[in-house]
Amino acid sequence: MAEVEGSLEPAGACPLLPLVTDGLCFTGGDRRLILDGVSFRLDDGFRTVILGPNGAGKSVLLRLCHGLLRPTAGQITWGGLSPAAAASRQGMVFQRPVLLRRSVRANIEHVLAIKGVRAGERGARVRAALERAGLARLADRPARMLSGGEQQRLSIARAWVMEPEVLLLDEPSSSLDPAATRAVEDLVREVAAGGARVIMTTHDIGQARRLADDVLFLHRGHLLEHSPASSFFAGPAHPAAARFIQGDLID
């Protein structure tokens, strides 16, 4: 049912996986419990979508996994590694693209320089990355003057240029129009087909149907369901999830 077209063949053994979380809790600055006892295990070879309404704790969960936040309680391991140790082998794409006040090309060069790619090699890799993201003709434009969709594709290209084993995306198309959303989704599929494990958050049920191989349904900081996309959309086990995918507003 889901349009899982171009279904990826399982990527080769990815030593960062499985991602295992155990009893993950996170308390926000105002002492509000944002995540409460989230435990799951993600194995190799899928596009995972973390689905849930706004405020469910999806972004926080992704940031915890990437080591940008520290859990208040609980454990996260990437193939046995801590999130901080695993972060350098992951790419992260933020909901609002964080682009440097430089040209499109210089944004990609920046991350290559940080990762220690020799100056002589950077040119070819920048070109390849921009080519894949369909941004080659915009290479010399100031990055922050691009359209929203182009900016997000640039962030994905920038995260992808290091060929990360895992690509994390936080609501990458939440403020984009349908055409730009499609371009972003195509790019995400391509990344996954290239062998990277994709984990993304969305509150958009349609997007989850289009992209997910398995779904983590998060609601008010609780993980209510983790199932393969086909069975999740055929009939979610949890009533809140069922109402959510019918389009009801849940709170």
Q: What is the widest separation between alpha-carbon atoms in the chain? A: 56
Q: How near is the Cβ of 143 to another protein at its closest, in Å?
A: 8
Please work out the total of residues on this chain that contact another protein, with binding judged by CB under 8 A.
21
Q: Which two tokens stand for residue 145?
A: 């003057």
CA pair distance 201, 144, nearest whole angstrom: 24
Residues 170, 62 contacting (CB under 8 angstroms): yes
Binding mask 81-100 for another protein (x = CB under 8 A): ------xx---x-x---x-x
Options 18-26, 59-67, 72-80, 187-195: segment touching another protein (CB under 8 A): 59-67
β partners of residue 222: 219
Q: How near is the Cβ of 132 to another protein at its closest, in Å?
A: 18
Q: Which is nearer to another protein, 42 or 99 (CB)?
A: 99
With CB under 8 A as the contact rule, the residue among 145, 175, 231, 246 that binds another protein is 145
Look up tokens 């990762």; give the residue: 115
Options 27-35, 42-50, 108-116, 221-229: segment touching another protein (CB under 8 A): 108-116
- How far is residue 40 from each of residues 24, 104, 197, 232, measured CA to CA in Å? 9, 37, 16, 16
With CB under 8 A as the contact rule, the residue among 45, 102, 134, 195 that binds another protein is 102
Q: Is residue 144 close enough to count as binding another protein by CB under 8 A?
A: yes
Q: Which is nearer to another protein, 7 or 88 (CB)?
A: 88
Assess whether the previous peptide bond of 18 is cis (omega < 30° from 0).
yes
CA pair distance 7, 79, nearest whole angstrom: 24
Q: How near is the Cβ of 248 to another protein at its closest, in Å?
A: 33
Cα distance from N-terminal residue to C-terminal residue, the chain: 27
Residues 109, 126 contacting (CB under 8 angstroms): yes
Residues near another protein, by CB under 8 A: 63, 66-68, 87-88, 92, 94, 98, 100-102, 110-111, 113-115, 142-145
